[in-house]
Amino acid sequence: GNSVTQMEGPVTLSEEAFLTINCTYTATGYPSLFWYVQYPGEGLQLLLKATKADDKGSNKGFEATYRKETTSFHLEKGSVQVSDSAVYFCALSDRTGANSKLTFGKGITLSVRP
């Protein structure tokens, strides 16, 4: 079955540091890939997505590239801010058929110090 593996957390960075959060996946077919973010006390917000190999999703300074050869979708940001402190989830959606349920990784907590 489908699965998503995220690097172990938590991650603590200083403001303006470079961020990488690793995500690898196992899937049949050609999944769409997503990063969702959950701020404290809130629901999940879509951060970015990519629907095919070599696509790059980007939003709010975050980027991730769909790498089919390494089955990866690592999240990066060049300079983090305190406001980026949140839990980040990598997810995939099986695009075959009308069932596009999301399979999530365990999530990783990012804390950014001033």
Partner 1 sequence: DSGVTQTPKHLITATGQRVTLRCSPRSGDLSVYWYQQSLDQGLQFLIQYYNGEERAKGNILERFSAQQFPDLHSELNLSSLELGDSALYFCASSPGTSGGLTTDTQYFGPGTRLTVL
Look at residues 91, 108, 109 and name the one whose alpha carbon lies nearest to residue 2: 91
How many Cα atoms are found within 13 Å in the side-chain-facing hemisphere of 114? 0
77/107 with CB nearer partner 1: 107
In the list 89, 108, 110, 112, the residue contacting partner 1 (rule: CB under 8 A) is 89
Residues with Cβ within 8 Å of residue 42, at least 6 apart in sequence: none
> Taking CB under 8 A as the rule, which mask of x and - marks residues 20-39 in contact with partner 1?
------------x-x-x---
Distances (CA, A) of 38 to 30, 85, 86, 103: 26, 9, 6, 16
CB of 14 to partner 1, least distance (A): 28
Q: Is residue 57 a contact residue for partner 1 (CB under 8 A)?
A: no
CB of 36 to partner 1, least distance (A): 7
User: Which residues bind to partner 1, rule: CB under 8 A?
Assistant: 32, 34, 36, 42-46, 49, 51, 89, 93, 95-107
